[in-house]
Amino acid sequence: MPQVRLSDVHKSYRNGKLETAAVAGVSFAVEAGEFLSIAGPSGSGKTTLLNLIGCLDRPSAGRIFLEEEEVAAAPKKRLADIRRDRIGFVFQAFNLIPVLSARENVELPLILAGMADRKQRRAAVEDLLAAVGLADVMERRPAQLSGGQQQRVAVARALVKKPALVLADEPTANLDSKNGEAILALMRELNQKLRTTFIFSTHDRMVMDFARRLIRIHDGRIVGDDGLQP
């Protein structure tokens, strides 16, 4: 059973009389534990595709299944529950909550998921932050962290609730190559260790090289799907 399945998915945006197709008839499936990159130039529809898979947006046409549950027409509340329970997000701009410390940022998804035991929650958060190399800075707020550290916090936040799927939208775009490589290595390590499915968008060659499967997209259409990389 594929973890994610898209069937002839379309997404278009209307701006006045002008209709732009961001995604035009995309179909593919992702198995659990994959480390997949969606690559393409700016404006090719990568982010839209991630938003559709992440239940942040609904397709104009077509069907999307997450673990065989059709989500394309699900009500908003159900989509929020799916995001809360099954999906982790990593954004290009880190998007940490500035008023919360690194530890509190990572803890938030667990609170959202209803984990009531504070001790257990704290332990999970601290273990994960230690695993991403942030044990010493977990009480700092985002403004007191470097870009690389912030993205590590974001990765920890995406993974803390042990989601089936992590979606990362250009996760290294705001990082220098050293930090970018470190983040990708971390994501791949966690993918292998936790068997979490990673789907990330990029237009960076170095990032594509990290992926074990590469879907190339152009003008909202899939133009290439390279299977498992060595």
Partner 1 sequence: MMAELLRMALRNAFRYRRRTVLTCLAIAFGLGLTIVGMALFNGVEKTSLDHIKDSETAHFLVYPAQRSAGLLINNPAALAARLRSLPGVAGVECRLRCAATLINGQDELPVTAIGIEAENDPVVFRIRESLAAGKFLEAGERAALLVGNGLARDLGLSAGDLCSLRLFAIDDESDWNAIDLQVKGVFVSGNPRLDRAAVFLPLPLLQESLGCGDRAGEIAVRMQNEEDLEGKKAAIQRTLSIAGFHGRVLGFWEAAAGLVEVNRLRSRLHAIVPLIMLLVAALGVVNTMLMAVMERTREIGLLRAMGFRQREVLLLFVLEGGLIGFLGSAASCLIGGLSGWYLESHGIDIAFLLGREVADIAAAIYPIQDVFRADLNFGMLAFALVFGTAVSIACSFYPAWRAVRLDPVAALRRP
**Binding footprint of partner 1 on the chain (CB under 8 A):** 51, 54, 56-57, 76-77, 80-85, 89, 91, 93, 95, 97-100, 108-109, 111-114
Q: Are 176 and 183 in contact (CB under 8 A)?
A: no
Measure the N-to-C terminal CA separation of the chain; round to a whole number of Å.
Answer: 23
Of 97 and 194, the one with the shorter C-beta distance to partner 1 is 97
Q: Are 170 and 95 in contact (CB under 8 A)?
A: no
CB of 226 to partner 1, least distance (A): 28
Of 35 and 89, the one with the shorter C-beta distance to partner 1 is 89
Q: How many residues comprise the chain?
A: 230
Closest CA to 143 of 105, 172, 181, 170: 105
CB of 156 to partner 1, least distance (A): 13
Q: Where are the beta strands (DSSP E) in 40-141?
A: 61-66, 69-70, 87-90
Q: Phi/psi of residue 216, each to 5°? A: -95, 135
Of 78 and 195, the one with the shorter C-beta distance to partner 1 is 78
CB of 209 to partner 1, least distance (A): 27
The β-bridge relationship of strands 213-218 and 35-39 is parallel
Alpha-carbon distance of 16 to 91, in angstroms, equals 29
CB of 105 to partner 1, least distance (A): 10
CB of 169 to partner 1, least distance (A): 9
Residue bearing tokens 């190399």: 133
Of 34 and 57, the one with the shorter C-beta distance to partner 1 is 57
Of 12 and 95, the one with the shorter C-beta distance to partner 1 is 95
